[in-house]
Structure 1
Amino acid sequence: MTKFTDLKLHTKVLKAIADVGYETPTPIQAGAIPPALEGRDVLGIAQTGTGKTASFTLPMITLLNRGRARARMPRSLVLAPTRELAAQVAENFDLYAKYTKLTKALLIGGVSFKEQDALIDRGVDVLIATPGRLLDHFERGKLILSDVKVMVVDEADRMLDMGFIPDIERIFQMTPFTRQTLFFSATMAPEIERITNTFLSNPERIEVARQATTSETITQAVYELPSAGRDTSKKKRDFLRQLIDLEGEKVTNGIIFCNRKVDVDIVAKSLKKYKHDAEPIHGDLDQSYRTRTLEGFRNGEIRFLVASDVAARGLDIPNVSHVFNFDVPSHAEDYVHRIGRTGRAGRSGSAMMISTPKDDKLLAAIESLIESTIPRGDTGLVKPSEAKPEKAEAKEDKPTKSRSRSRSKSKEAKEEAPAETKDAAPETEQDAKPAPKREEKRDDKPREEKRTRGGRGRGRNEDRGPKVVGLGDHMPDFIAQSFEERRTD
């Protein structure tokens, strides 16, 4: 069995790895580190949670241990799709480079430009950034990428989903042609394959697992709830809480994924209302709050993390016991990455998903992608008091009863009415007739106005028929007569 000591890493890197307690590399690490140390381009395809971050961090530290960075000219570049993933890469770098003198800078949104500029001006060996913030610094003239020797693209398929591919291509063109490229992705979409063919030179391809596969250590289940109209979302929240209560102490912590940011906030508030320790995290929240929330979840201070897909890719949050998909993901690949937050590093985990009839096509796409059928769970957990379908029907029945009572009362009133009232009925019908007569007069008015326009020539025009439009009232009779004859023909 291969060990880290067999991979020709720098002694200072091996010492840091020993401090962490790792001895045996994961398959992606064992496959990617040797060619990376040889200076070759690497194309790594592996599912989330397999240790891809260390696959490029460890050889980078070894390769960059010699040399010194110049101001505004980083020696290596790591691109990550989200702030959280970029921050995680920075943490891994600090962990494994603690016995070296290498420096780093983290360029992400939500942080002051001034602080980041100060780091870049001093010169950094490793620059870790999101594409948008990196281009902001470059366009401001604060960054020069002509000295980049190693470039890493992490979670490339997520970059594609977030629309970063044009930015990635632009950044590739700003770096030297002689750079070494380490490219990692969980799936290989056609667009991703096009980029690798364009910017990678004879890469070493390491594919650890079949594309878009789920870990065998994860127990999966989907709960198909019937539609409840406008109350469907509330019914799903009720069912989610019952799932959590049913699992009991098995749920040491969990991540709850929603498709929309607004649902993230609603679900988090609902869980808090029912005394569950939960916090939301999505792209619209302040970066300092997102950092504190993730740190609290890692430390066990927060039990449930309600998240959008910003937390679905690449985040190394160990010992997550459960993943709850409150919504069926819109993209089948996201299901693999979501449930990959649990069952990491050979641990067991549980992934539960709630679906409704409108999600049938999405569910079928997921099962087609992973080439297996997700077991169906028991949906009889919803208590009648919480589902409340009977109360809603009772409310709808009330107006029907009142209408039937009013009809019966009106029938009784008609039967008990005196003879005079019955005799007066035809008169009321006759009284109702003038209304349509008035409408007929209104309909006829424009025609009378057309015929009587002009006033003084009224009699002559009525004798000869409709007045010719466009001619005056005092025209000779023979002219009007000639027009009428032509028109009748």
Structure 2
Amino acid sequence: MTTFADLGLDPKVLSAISDAGYNEPTPIQAGAIPPALEGRDVLGIAQTGTGKTAGFVLPMITLLGRGRARARMPRSLVLAPTRELAAQVAENFDTYAKKTKLSKALLIGGVSFKEQDALIDKGVDVLIATPGRLLDHFERGKLLLTGVQIMVVDEADRMLDMGFIPDIERIFQLTPFTRQTLFFSATMAPEIERVTNTFLSAPAKVEVARRATTAESIEQGVVEYTASRKDRQASEKRALLRALIDREGEGLKNAIVFCNRKTEVDVVAKSLKKHGYDAAPIHGDLDQSQRTRTLEAFRNGELRLLIASDVAARGLDIPAVSHVLNYDVPSHAEDYVHRIGRTGRAGRQGKALTICVPHDTKWLGAIEALVEKEIPRVESPLKAPPERERPRRGGGKEKTAGEKRTAPDTSIAAAPEPAPKEKGGRGKRGGKGRDEPVVGMGDHVPAFLTRSFKPKSETTEEPADG
């Protein structure tokens, strides 16, 4: 059995690991740490939730134990695709480097440039950043990358999805070619492979799981649902989400609900709160301080439902998430793997449920092709809406067989009887004259409307009163 002590880490790092309550490394840590300590480039491929972050933070702290940082010239660089993931790497660094004198700076959006510049000016050993903010500082002349000894790219496939690969390539070119590179990803798309072939030198490849696999500890299910009418799909889908939450009951201690669009995140969160559920949104358009507060509340158990866009799908280490609910089927199959990887972490059991409407069927098929298995179908907690009876035109009810339509009582019995029509009389139609009483106008029909008006006939006698 391998322990952290067998990997050659600094004693101060081992002490911090012990304080954190860890004894045995995960497979990705056991595979990546030894070659990293030898100074080799590392290409790590592992599904989310397997401990990749510690796999590069621990050897980095050990390697940086000697030496001092110079102003505006960080000694190591960690690139992360999102603010949340960058902040999580910073927390890991604080945990494992607490018994050393190494310093760090976090460069992310939503924080003032002035505070970040002050940290960089002092000199930092580890610079943790998102690509866009890092290049902002560099272009303002506040940062030099010529002193970088170790460069880490975390969640590289997410970088690809978010369009950061050109930025990553530029940052690689700004760092010394003698640097050591640690490159981690959950999947290996062709574009990612091209970057690794270009910028990594004879890397030690550590692959601890089949590409794009889902953990066996996660129970998966799909609820296929067709709305009663197209214009009711959104409201009925939100009702289905609430019914799923209710059906899980106390087993759903907390859950991340994923939506494809930021606007949908806000709508779903507002709807759940309106119906009395403990929910809050998190996505890229929110203020960084609000995102941090929401994430901390969820991590500390003060918030039950976190409604998120894919900004929260990658790398967030919240160990005790009991459920992941995909309100939308992700349009990129790889995102499904990362989303449901938020549950079932560190050997715990988890559950992932996905709502699939007819429009999403093609995306669900792509997911099943990627993970190479069919996701079980789960019965909907909502009964199919009854078909609405179509009213007949005119509001009348349909006649049963043999039933004759009867004219309504118009209360015009007192109206004068029309004079009998003679042969060849005008207005003759189908054997009936036009002199029948007009019906359907209620009790107040003027008498003259019910009388017959016909041409004067020679055989017809004039009334006695003229």
Residue 378 (str. 1) matches residue 379 (str. 2): yes
Gap regions ≥5 residues in structure 2? 399-405, 411-433, 439-449, 456-466
Q: Quote the Cα distance in structure 2 between the aligned partners of 1:421 and 1:256.
A: 76
Cα distance change of structure 1 residues 72 and 231 upon mapping to structure 2, 3 Å threshold: same
* Corresponding position of 2:299: 298
Q: Quote the Cα distance in structure 1 between the aligned partners of 2:367 and 2:453.
A: 72
Map of 1:318-337 to 2, 5 A cutoff? 318-337=319-338
Helix, strand or coil for the counterpart of 1:306?
Answer: strand
* Corresponding position of 2:61: 61
Provide the TM-score with structure 2 as the length reference: 0.85
* Corresponding position of 1:89: 89
How far 1:207 moved relative to its partner? 0.4
Q: Quote the Cα distance in structure 1 between the aligned partners of 2:145 and 2:315.
A: 26
* Corresponding position of 2:426: none
* Corresponding position of 2:391: 397
* Corresponding position of 1:185: 185
How far 1:400 moved relative to its partner? 5.5
Deviations 1:275-324 (A, max 9, x none): 11110000010000000000000000000100000000000011100000
Deviations 1:119-142 (A, max 9, x none): 000000000000000000000000
Map of 1:377-456 to 2, 5 A cutoff? 377-379=378-380, 381-383=381-383, 387=385, 393=388, 397=391, 401=395, 416=437
* Corresponding position of 2:358: 357
Q: Quote the Cα distance in structure 2 between the aligned partners of 1:227 and 1:116.
A: 50
Helix, strand or coil for the counterpart of 2:325?
Answer: strand
How far 1:227 moved relative to its partner? 3.3
Deviations 1:177-214 (A, max 9, x none): 00000000000000000000000000000000000000
Residue identity in the other structure for 1:376: R
Map of 1:99-114 to 2, 5 A cutoff? 99-114=99-114
* Corresponding position of 1:227: 227
Cα distance change of structure 1 residues 15 and 357 upon mapping to structure 2, 3 Å threshold: same
Cα distance change of structure 1 residues 422 and 416 upon mapping to structure 2, 3 Å threshold: farther
* Corresponding position of 1:441: none
How far 1:401 moved relative to its partner? 2.0
Gap regions ≥5 residues in structure 1? 424-489
How far 1:240 moved relative to its partner? 1.1
* Corresponding position of 2:17: 17
Q: Quote the Cα distance in structure 1 between the aligned partners of 2:287 and 2:54.
A: 28
Query: How well do the aligned residues superpose, as a CA RMSD in angstroms?
Result: 2.3
* Corresponding position of 1:115: 115
Deviations 1:438-458 (A, max 9, x none): xxxxxxxxxxxxxxxxxxxxx
Map of 1:107-186 to 2, 5 A cutoff? 107-186=107-186
Helix, strand or coil for the counterpart of 2:78?
Answer: strand
How far 1:21 moved relative to its partner? 0.8
Q: Quote the Cα distance in structure 2 between the aligned partners of 1:218 and 1:327.
A: 19
Helix, strand or coil for the counterpart of 1:69?
Answer: coil
Q: Quote the Cα distance in structure 2 between the aligned partners of 1:244 and 1:151.
A: 43
Helix, strand or coil for the counterpart of 1:397?
Answer: coil
How far 1:397 moved relative to its partner? 3.1
How far 1:398 moved relative to its partner? 7.6
Helix, strand or coil for the counterpart of 2:114?
Answer: helix
Helix, strand or coil for the counterpart of 1:345?
Answer: coil
How far 1:270 moved relative to its partner? 1.3
How far 1:421 moved relative to its partner? 7.5
Work out the number of aligned pairs and report it.
414
* Corresponding position of 2:423: none
Deviations 1:197-239 (A, max 9, x none): 0000000000000000000000000000013311112111111
Contact 2:69 2:125 in 1 (8 A): yes
How far 1:402 moved relative to its partner? 7.3
Cα distance change of structure 1 residues 231 and 60 upon mapping to structure 2, 3 Å threshold: same
How far 1:383 moved relative to its partner? 4.7
* Corresponding position of 2:347: 346
Residue identity in the other structure for 2:220: Q
Q: Quote the Cα distance in structure 2 between the aligned partners of 1:178 and 1:109.
A: 29
* Corresponding position of 1:274: 275
Contact 2:256 2:305 in 1 (8 A): yes
Q: Quote the Cα distance in structure 2 between the aligned partners of 1:335 and 1:135.
A: 30
Q: Quote the Cα distance in structure 2 between the aligned partners of 1:202 and 1:422.
A: 110
Contact 1:221 1:375 in 2 (8 A): yes
How far 1:422 moved relative to its partner? 9.4
Helix, strand or coil for the counterpart of 1:310?
Answer: helix
Contact 2:76 2:126 in 1 (8 A): yes
Q: Quote the Cα distance in structure 1 between the aligned partners of 2:454 and 2:189.
A: 82
Residue identity in the other structure for 1:348: Q
Q: Quote the Cα distance in structure 2 between the aligned partners of 1:151 and 1:318.
A: 27
Helix, strand or coil for the counterpart of 2:223?
Answer: strand
How far 1:403 moved relative to its partner? 12
Residue 74 (str. 1) matches residue 74 (str. 2): yes
Map of 1:191-230 to 2, 5 A cutoff? 191-228=191-228, 229-230=230-231
Contact 2:181 2:200 in 1 (8 A): yes
Q: Quote the Cα distance in structure 1 between the aligned partners of 2:120 and 2:133.
A: 13
Q: Quote the Cα distance in structure 2 between the aligned partners of 1:402 and 1:125.
A: 83
How far 1:53 moved relative to its partner? 0.1
Helix, strand or coil for the counterpart of 2:141?
Answer: coil
Helix, strand or coil for the counterpart of 2:219?
Answer: strand
Cα distance change of structure 1 residues 422 and 6 upon mapping to structure 2, 3 Å threshold: farther
Cα distance change of structure 1 residues 421 and 32 upon mapping to structure 2, 3 Å threshold: farther
Q: Quote the Cα distance in structure 2 between the aligned partners of 1:182 and 1:376.
A: 40
Helix, strand or coil for the counterpart of 1:184?
Answer: strand
Cα distance change of structure 1 residues 130 and 422 upon mapping to structure 2, 3 Å threshold: farther
How far 1:83 moved relative to its partner? 0.1
Helix, strand or coil for the counterpart of 2:59?
Answer: helix
Residue identity in the other structure for 1:327: D
How far 1:363 moved relative to its partner? 0.6
* Corresponding position of 1:251: 252
* Corresponding position of 1:239: 240
Cα distance change of structure 1 residues 124 and 234 upon mapping to structure 2, 3 Å threshold: same
Q: Quote the Cα distance in structure 2 between the aligned partners of 1:6 and 1:163.
A: 39
Helix, strand or coil for the counterpart of 1:279?
Answer: strand
Cα distance change of structure 1 residues 399 and 340 upon mapping to structure 2, 3 Å threshold: farther
Contact 2:253 2:304 in 1 (8 A): yes
Cα distance change of structure 1 residues 11 and 399 upon mapping to structure 2, 3 Å threshold: farther
* Corresponding position of 1:307: 308
Q: Quote the Cα distance in structure 2 between the aligned partners of 1:272 and 1:68.
A: 51
Helix, strand or coil for the counterpart of 1:344?
Answer: coil
Q: Quote the Cα distance in structure 2 between the aligned partners of 1:401 and 1:136.
A: 68
Cα distance change of structure 1 residues 72 and 402 upon mapping to structure 2, 3 Å threshold: farther
Contact 1:227 1:357 in 2 (8 A): no
Residue identity in the other structure for 1:243: L
